[in-house]
Structure 1
């Protein structure tokens, strides 16, 4: 994680550092204005200034006492952060030590940006500063979980909001996890119903209650999101996306993408590149 442009996790000291921190000043030095796609979590806390961050093609404002959470795999770009002050915490999914914070980190629907309530700010600030202090301490002779413990405290204090209001529905949570693991190979809702041991109608009802969408629509949305990530960041062609996402050929993928988005893959790719 020493080079944010490359988004490559680098071992630090003995073993791999599960938690690292940097200032927005350091982020500006490393940021080339292009898109990033990390295999770890990026959590930012803004103390002052204004700017913006684009996460999975949605623009979010940065302002005093705002927080940003970029999950692994999300395509993001820091915009206009010249006057932003604060800190960025980089951590792997296994870093939090409590059951609650690990479950929260494992959820794919944490909101990308939110404002920290003024009443909560002193506790968030104290948790963040304690983590920063420990992260800057000299390496210990023996392994310590202090950074991970303090990261868990910070996450608990931040209370990141979720996008899916009913995400605690156990049937939906199983479905969501299964889709995340297998959407590249399986595009039909029936596969997930069979794999999870539910009747198709039961599964569809659970997904509808949690998201307002059918199970099929949820799967389609996940495939389209990944396609957009591949087109925007990896700059794949329609043929490359078809191969990566389990479509028979480029034509089949292009028809699917255009039907859902209203644009051909190449046109969408050019449009995003010009933004």
Structure 2
């Protein structure tokens, strides 16, 4: 059976929809234990049991009342879900229908997991139940706006605790959006300053307030994250990573990666692919 990363929004009855739901039991049937990287969002809501998931090389516990959010492009692995019960919501980035929820899903600083506030659980459960019911329906109109509306209601109730610093800092927000678009070709702060019309110092001050990292540090972090994704999931060589990420040659990339992580790309890849050995 296909892994979750191979799933598409084309259910057996042929109706195309930007939102789907499934259970952790269904996920267990599809999960091959390897890393996955999808082009859609995955939110897991845990009702019972304990387990773990790894999202972009950070491990997160799965426990009753917790949620895990995997954004598009993130390398993730379901480490231990044999005893986990709950619901997964899969949706494309354009599925939410409100401005607030669109900003939530567009946030590049999504937190991997968090516990749902007890006061919100009743509302989250109600929104989820309605969404599951609608996505399971086979009648006409299910591929229209209703699932997206219900998804937005659920996202509004989930209130993931990410992006507070970015949301209150417009300069940092537009900087991060620009980095997300151009980090493969442009590694220097000056490019983003010129593109956005700010002084480099202004970008760094905004980045420091939001993250504790300079603008250059944020750029480096994004490049390193993508390099790790390519090394661990796509299993690219250092030479291929250098080409994809805009470095002039493999040697320059290797020095950059080692300075940022303390390891050469090949050594990091070996450790990531064989964490026990």
CA distance in 2, matches of 1:224, 1:100: 29
* Matched residues, number: 274
Q: TM-score, length-normalised on structure 2?
A: 0.95
* Matching residue of 1:17: 17
1:6 deviates by 4.2
* Matching residue of 2:197: 197
1:168 deviates by 2.7
Q: How does 1:153-168 map to 2 (within 5 A)?
A: 153-162=153-162, 165-168=165-168
Task: Please tell me whether the aligned partners of residues 4 and 27 of structure 2 are also in contact (alpha carbons under 8 angstroms).
Answer: no
CA distance in 1, matches of 2:99, 2:164: 20
CA distance in 1, matches of 2:46, 2:31: 17
Deviations, residues 16-54 of structure 1 (Å, cap 9, x unaligned)? 310011100000000010000010000110000000000
Q: Does 1:4 align with 2:3?
A: yes
Gaps in structure 2 of 5+ consecutive residues? none
Q: TM-score, length-normalised on structure 1?
A: 0.95
Task: Please tell me whether the aligned partners of residues 166 and 209 of structure 1 are also in contact (alpha carbons under 8 angstroms).
Answer: no
Deviations, residues 51-107 of structure 1 (Å, cap 9, x unaligned)? 000000000000001001000000000011100000111000010111100111111
1:14–1:33 Cα change, 3 Å? closer
Instruction: Decide which moves more: 115-124 or 67-76.
Output: 115-124
CA distance in 2, matches of 1:273, 1:124: 37
1:103–1:163 Cα change, 3 Å? closer
CA distance in 1, matches of 2:248, 2:139: 51
Q: How does 1:124-143 map to 2 (within 5 A)?
A: 124-140=124-140
* Matching residue of 1:103: 103
CA distance in 2, matches of 1:164, 1:119: 20
1:167 deviates by 3.5
1:21–1:142 Cα change, 3 Å? closer
